Amino acid sequence: MKHKGFIFDMDGVVVDNHSFHFKAWMEFSKKYHFPLNSEIYRDTFNGKTNVDLFRMIFGNISDKEIKQYGDEKESWYQELYKNEMKPHTGLMDYLQFLKDNHLKIALGTSAPTMNVNFTLDTLSLRHFFDVIVDGPMVSQGKPHPQVYELCAKELGLDPKDCVVFEDSLAGLQSGKSAGCSIIGVATSHTESDLKSHVEQIIHDFTDPAVFHL
């Protein structure tokens, strides 16, 4: 393996869950009367923190209001997803492969801590990750490179020695701007959507290419 650190986004990478987030956001948009459809969701929601999203929707609201809205939306999401959740195809074997080869692993996500805990603990994945960086730990969401810069720093590695797995265009830009190698995961976007943003694309972690990074 050429890289020493392997950094995974969560939504759309660790779990292929975008349809469930979308359903929860659609319910939220109906309740609070703001425009939302699949195109708006795909192009403007992916990769952003809840702070960014709720201020985009409601304006300059307080931190308390952001938490209230966030807890409400994420509770809907978790209720929809809890009985359907599974790791992305091939992920468990790939994480075990990285562990067996003494490589460093991080989770770098804009998701709120409650969803990180929900995902990692429901699927018993927490022990694979040496470092976890989530939404509340960063002041600037993707496409800003902060989340992946922090992952590399916490792993004790130069970003150029790390590879980032990302499904969103904002996330790919974030990883690239941080100085990491980037791999597109074709879940929330099609392969053709990703092609102009990244050279290497996988559909899941059974792709032989991931064992030669």
* Domain range list for the chain: 5-15+86-212, 18-81
DSSP calls for the chain: ---SEEEE-TBTTTB--HHHHHHHHHHHHHHHT----HHHIIIIITT--HHHHHHHHHSS--HHHHHHHHHHHHHHHHHHHTTT--PPTTHHHHHHHHHHTT-EEEEE--S-HHHHHHHHHHTT-GGG-SEEE-GGG-SS-TTSTHHHHHHHHHHT--GGGEEEEE-SHHHHHHHHHHT-EEEEE-SSS-HHHHHTT-S-EESSTT-GGGGG-
For residue 10, the model assigns a pLDDT of 97
Give per-residue pLDDT as tens, 133-166: 999 999 998 999 999 999 999 999 999 999 999 9
Average pLDDT over residues 168-176: 95
For domain 5-15+86-212, the question of CATH label 3.40.50.1000 is answered with yes
Does pLDDT of 199 surpass 90?
A: no
For residue 49, the model assigns a pLDDT of 87
Model confidence, pTM:
0.92
Does pLDDT of 48 surpass 90?
A: no
pLDDT band at 126 (very low <50, low <70, confident <90, very high): very high
The span from the CA of 103 to the CA of 18, in Å, is 28
Query: At 6, phi and psi to the nearest 5?
Result: -125, 115
Average pLDDT over residues 70-84: 96
Does pLDDT of 132 surpass 90?
A: yes
For residue 47, the model assigns a pLDDT of 77
